[in-house]
Amino acid sequence: MNKRLFLLVLDSLGIGELPDAADYGDKGSNTLASICRSEQLAAPCLRGLGLYNIDGVTCAQPVERPGACFARLAEQSRGKDTTTGHWEIAGVISPEAMPTYPDGFPPEIIGQLEQRSGRRILCNKPYSGTRVIEDYGARQMESGALIVYTSADSVLQIAAHEEVIPLEELYRICAAAREIMQGEHGVGRIIARPFAGRPGSFARTRNRHDYSLPPPADTMCDLLAAKGLEVIGVGKIGDIFAGRGITGSYATRSNTDGMERTIALAKEGFNGLCFVNLVDFDMLYGHRNDVDGYAAALTEFDRQLVTLLAMLGSNDAVIITADHGCDPATPSTDHSREYVPMLIAGERLRQGINLGTRGTFADIAATVQDYFGLPVKTSGQSFLPNVT
């Protein structure tokens, strides 16, 4: 009989500041608490599983009999971005933060980008992704230059109008940028950010593509795939791990689309891990300080989660977690250094066990390997014995 585990990453759903949050400028951040203040939030399924029973979560009433086991996870890696968060979930801890560029990229990097692309560079500074196309989009269309910008995260982003620079060319340029940004300049991700429209009404399209560094060591994905198990990435999982250890990948257009794809996979059957990233929480709502939008998106996820849980068989389990925070109620539009939730449920698993506060996201990777009967070869300690 097939054995399946669904690992759902609610991108940026932090649950309160980590002890070192002040070092990152994130003191007081609490993504979940901010969302709970919105009238748009209705998440009875997550509440019933035990989301509000987790250590330190005080923004809503806990339930007496949680349907899942639950924990609060601390990030051990240095950083608060998507790449380090997902790598740690998959068992690879990053002791040093990836490089960031609060003053823009150095001249030698810009020079190489211009040489490799054959195009001039605009902007070259930290910027909001939506604001940068408002401020530079018309100049980009007139000149054919590239809008290069960054954020508080370890990223280099390249924006261009799809009618001015075809997607294939933009992707080739980003692949060249990935070759340039290595070693001391090895940012976590190069991101293609195509946009469309006319001045005053520009909008980013769904043709984003990420070019990530490959993980520096084997992740749970590599180890599962090496044993012949399927590792299916939904959303940007394939990009985050540079395709490493991913046996099948499905791009998605939205959170709703990602959950529909996951539900379809549950119907089809497979043997292994379904690793899902739901990026809209972060991209559309956290970064844009949209509290009500974030709350409404979590409400929609909760509705779809009911459908997925009803489809789990006796040999299935689900883990729900996050990769960092992005508090939409703080002045910052960047990620926040927060604890993340962990809920694990399945027909053969115990219910209502509080696994406490754990020192690394990598405990998930150890548990996944343990679940499939593999020796744990990554960082982390399995909590499976506590829940079976």
Last residue of a domain, one of 212, 245, 278: 212
Last residue of a domain, one of 212, 231, 256: 212
Residue 292, pLDDT score? 98
For residue 202, the domain's CATH number is: 3.30.70.1250
If DSSP codes are grouped into helix, strand and coil, which group holds residue 233? strand
Residue 15 shares a structural domain with residue 147: no
Residue 224 shares a structural domain with residue 248: yes
Mean pLDDT for 60-73 is 98
Mean pLDDT for 269-285 is 96
Alpha helices in 227-290 (DSSP H): 237-240, 255-268, 280
Render pLDDT for 201-249 as a digit per residue (tens, 0 to 9).
Answer: 999 998 999 999 999 999 999 999 999 999 999 999 999 999 999 999 9
Task: Give, in order, the Cα–Cα distances in Å from 191 to each of 47, 139, 152, 272.
Answer: 35, 20, 14, 29
Residue 358 shares a structural domain with residue 235: yes
Residue 152, pLDDT score? 82
Residue 325 shares a structural domain with residue 352: yes
Residue 233, pLDDT score? 98
Q: How many domains does the chain have?
A: 2
Residue 83 shares a structural domain with residue 116: no
Domain assignment present for 114: yes
**DSSP 8-class letter at 42:** -
CA 61/CA 270 separation, integer angstroms:
37
- Edge-first strand order for the sheet with 4-10 is 248-250, 230-234, 272-278, 4-10, 316-321, 340-346, 69-73, 354-358
Q: Is the pLDDT of residue 1 over 80?
A: no
Q: Is the pLDDT of residue 77 over 90?
A: yes
Residue 153, pLDDT score? 85
> Is residue 276 within 8 Å of residue 262, measured between CB atoms?
yes
Average pLDDT value over all residues in the chain: 97
Residue 195 shares a structural domain with residue 344: no
Grade residue 104 by pLDDT with cuts at 50, 70 and 90: very high
Residue 232 shares a structural domain with residue 370: yes
Instruction: Label residues 182-208 b or e (16+ Cβ within 10 Å = b).
Output: eeebebbbbbbbbbebeeeebebeeeb
Task: Give, in order, the Cα–Cα distances in Å from 328 to each of 61, 122, 225, 276.
Answer: 22, 28, 37, 22
Mean pLDDT for 56-67 is 98
Domain assignment present for 12: yes
Strand 209-212, strand 189-196: pairing: antiparallel
**Single-letter residue type at 318:** V
Q: Which residue has the higher pLDDT, 43 or 153?
A: 43
Domain assignment present for 102: no
Strand 272-278, strand 4-10: pairing: parallel
Domain assignment present for 276: yes
Domain assignment present for 368: yes
Grade residue 342 by pLDDT with cuts at 50, 70 and 90: very high
pTM reported for the whole predicted model:
0.92
Last residue of a domain, one of 177, 212, 247: 212
Above pLDDT 70, what percent of the chain?
Answer: 100
Task: Give, in order, the Cα–Cα distances in Å from 86 to each of 121, 126, 171, 219, 321.
Answer: 31, 23, 23, 10, 10
Residue 147 shares a structural domain with residue 296: no
Where in the sequence is the domain holding 119, given as residue range(s)? 107-212
Domain assignment present for 275: yes
Of the candidates 44, 61, 43, which has an alpha carbon nearest to the alpha carbon of residue 52? 61
Please give the full DSSP string across 76-93, using - where no structure is assigned. Answer: -SS--SHHHHHHHHTT--
Residue 70 shares a structural domain with residue 119: no
Residue 203 shares a structural domain with residue 63: no
Mean pLDDT for 38-45 is 98
Grade residue 33 by pLDDT with cuts at 50, 70 and 90: very high
Domain assignment present for 243: yes
Q: How many CA atoms, within 13 angstroms, populate the side-chain half-sphere of residue 153?
A: 26
Residue 234 shares a structural domain with residue 167: no
Render pLDDT for 288-332 as a digit per residue (tens, 0 to 9).
Answer: 999 999 999 999 999 999 999 999 999 999 999 999 999 999 999
Residue 227 shares a structural domain with residue 374: yes
Q: Is the pLDDT of residue 55 over 90?
A: yes
Domain assignment present for 342: yes
For residue 64, the domain's CATH number is: 3.40.720.10
